[in-house]
Amino acid sequence: MNNTTGKVFWKKPLTYLLLLAGAVGALLGERLIFQTSNSPENSSQLTQLSVTQSLGKTDKISDSEKSAWLPVRAPIPNSNFIVDAVQKVGPAVVRINASRNVSQRPNIFGRGIPEGFYGFESPRSRNGPVERGTGSGFIISSDGNILTNAHVVEGSTIVEVVLKDGRRFPGQVLGTDSVTDVAVVKIDTNSLPTVSLGNSNNLQPGEWAIAIGNPLGLDNSVTVGIISATGRSSNDVGVPDKRVGFIQTDAAINPGNSGGPLLNKNGEVIGINTAIIDGAQGLGFAIPINNAQQIARQLIKVGKVEHAYLGIAMQTLTAELKQELNRNFNTNMFSEQGVLVMQVVPGSPADQSGLQPGDIIQKIDKQTIISSENVQQIVQKKTVGSLLELEIKRNGQNLNFQVRTGNLPSQLRG
């Protein structure tokens, strides 16, 4: 009895010790394998070993068997949509060096814009009468048509285009349009990289915006932001002589960026980078590419652009304006909304059609008018010679007029 009990007494602890030792060994083995498997030089050996054991083999497995069993590792991303867009468009972005006589420098956007804003050197800092500046542009056709801003090349005597690969070409200005600040430059070569043009009609605030250009001569610089707003009128931006519904962005646009492309997340051009408001921070503006395309086609074809024209000075009718007019001119404004005709240019289409100062435009082609921007947008979409149906209010009476648009006179183009 005692001997049997003694055998049982010694067997159980020994069994427990063996089990405990096995568990500790397994744990240490797993820890060792885990640490070793994190070592890149050992990962392939361990993978091969585990595959071999799974197949029940002791010899080396074939490559086909290995490929069938090896786990697929997800690739580490080394780019993003911004990198992709820049790589796609970058080769088609150019630097434009322009020289012009000081006396030929155009009055671009009126007073208040700093002299060095557009990247042109101040003539006071040079001994001669020639000023030189740098802007940007982008290639829209493989045979050398380049889109840029009018103010970059307007009045220039010499234009040089520098490609990203370092090649330099003399540029020929096919035409400029100061009303929209769009120009086309041609270089004599072929097989050039080109941009892809997007659609600027349906842009939404909050979309990504990528600007590429040559600010301060730093070629192919990239800035990123979002679309802050669309349809900013020329009055909003402080350039009332322009006919553009600007794209507003917070992507940095600096001197020398003018004429460069504004891209969407897909690397498509949605605008031409242009002016900023003097003194503002974090605000940039671009000309919508759909508008720029229409202008570019005319410049390439005939070297100039026609703009529909009515010949009126106008102001949005507001409650404050009504009170001021009623108080100062002893009038009685019967309309709650519309656009007040402040002045009619003698001999203009509006004058020939019978419009008078004091008329309130309420509808054009059955579209309700609530602001002067509405009138501008409708007219600028028309071709010269188009017939417009106007509904106005004069002294409390509703009247209808037909106005056939004319071509904007050159002296009114800024």
pLDDT tens, 96-144? 999 987 654 444 333 333 333 333 333 444 445 777 888 999 999 999 9
Is the pLDDT reported for residue 20 higher than 90? no
Q: Domain-by-domain residue ranges, the chain?
A: 2-69, 74-305, 308-412
What torsion do the CA atoms of 12, 18, 23, 27 make, to the nearest 10 degrees? 160
The answer to whether residues 230 and 164 touch, using CB atoms and an 8 Å cutoff, is: no
Q: Say whether 199 sits in a helix, a strand or coil.
A: coil
Is the pLDDT reported for residue 378 higher than 80? yes
CATH topology for 74-305?
A: Thrombin, subunit H (2.40.10)
Cα separation, 321 vs 19, in Å, equals: 96
The confidence band for 13, taking pLDDT boundaries of 50, 70 and 90, is low
Residues annotated as catalytic (active site), given as ranges: 151, 181, 258
Comparing 121-125, 281-285, 358-362, the range with the smallest average pLDDT is: 121-125
pLDDT tens, residue by residue, 151-183: 999 989 999 999 999 999 999 999 999 999 999
CATH number of 308-412: 2.30.42.10
Cα separation, 217 vs 135, in Å, equals: 8
| The pLDDT value given to residue 321 | 83
